[in-house]
Amino acid sequence: MRSDGVVFASPVYSFQVSGHMKAFLDRLGFAFHRPRFHGKAWTSIVVEGLYGGRDVGKYLDFVGGALGFSVARGSRIVCRKNPDTAQEPMLDKERRKMDEVLARHSRRFHDQLKSPRFPEPTMLQLFGFRMARTSIKLELADDRPDHAYYSDHGWFDSDYFYPTKLGLLKRAAGAAFDRMAARSSKPREHHRAER
């Protein structure tokens, strides 16, 4: 919480992040419902032997966005080891490539750290926020943690997670997303009747 930016790094194990990283992300799972890292930068590094790193990198960067971070696209390092000993040092060619990839990546992350902390949301981000906040407002009782969190942050009345100036198109789209979410929500009375 005290950092301006974070780097999440993991080897690729069985086409996924490592078990340790997954356990850590699961521990943070509540923050997908109650995001808290807006205004902070995220990036990721995955290290693969052969295959799967691209998807794992996409997964990690998606996780960063879902937690509220501004994401600087991560990088993928290839490190082929001797399959028998798993102890060969990296090949020179791989090391050179890694240095290049990480030099470009450092610049991306630096640019992200220097860019405005609270940019205008993309249409997709706006959609996600409005759908979530409207369904939480209509579906959950006031004392449920997600409802209380959104209410405490003023998110039932705000344009987005943080103060931002929306253009005309996004204002209209935001209102339409709220209406869409209201139509597809099950009102609280419905839940009570089901119990």
Q: Smallest gap, in angstroms, from Cβ of residue 24 to ligand FMN?
A: 15
> How many residues belong to the chain?
195
Q: Read out DSSP for 44-84? A: EEEEESSS-HHHHHHHHHHHHHHTTPEEPP-EEEE----TT
Q: Quick one: which of 12, 41, 67, 136 contacts ligand FMN (CB under 6 A)?
A: 12
Q: Examine residue 48 and tell whether it contacts ligand FMN (CB under 6 A).
A: yes
Of 35, 39, 45, whose CA–CA distance to 108 is shortest?
A: 45
Q: Examine residue 17 and tell whether it contacts ligand FMN (CB under 6 A).
A: no
Q: Quick one: which of 79, 98, 126, 136 contacts ligand FMN (CB under 6 A)?
A: 79
Quote the CA–CA distance of 7 and 123 in Å, as a whole number.
26
Stretch that binds ligand FMN, among 48-56, 118-126, 159-167, 177-185 (CB under 6 A): 48-56
Q: Examine residue 13 and tell whether it contacts ligand FMN (CB under 6 A).
A: yes
Q: Examine residue 52 and tell whether it contacts ligand FMN (CB under 6 A).
A: yes
Annotate each residue in 89-108 with x if it binds ligand FMN (CB under 6 A) or - if it does not, as one string: --------------------
Cα separations in angstroms, 143 against 23, 31, 138: 28, 17, 13
Q: Examine residue 87 and tell whether it contacts ligand FMN (CB under 6 A).
A: no
DSSP state of 189: H
Place of tokens 């997954």: 22
Q: Quick one: which of 50, 141, 172, 175 contacts ligand FMN (CB under 6 A)?
A: 50
Q: Examine residue 81 and tell whether it contacts ligand FMN (CB under 6 A).
A: yes
Q: Read out DSSP for 91-102? A: PHHHHHHHHHHH
Residue ranges in contact with ligand FMN by CB under 6 A: 11-15, 47-52, 79, 81
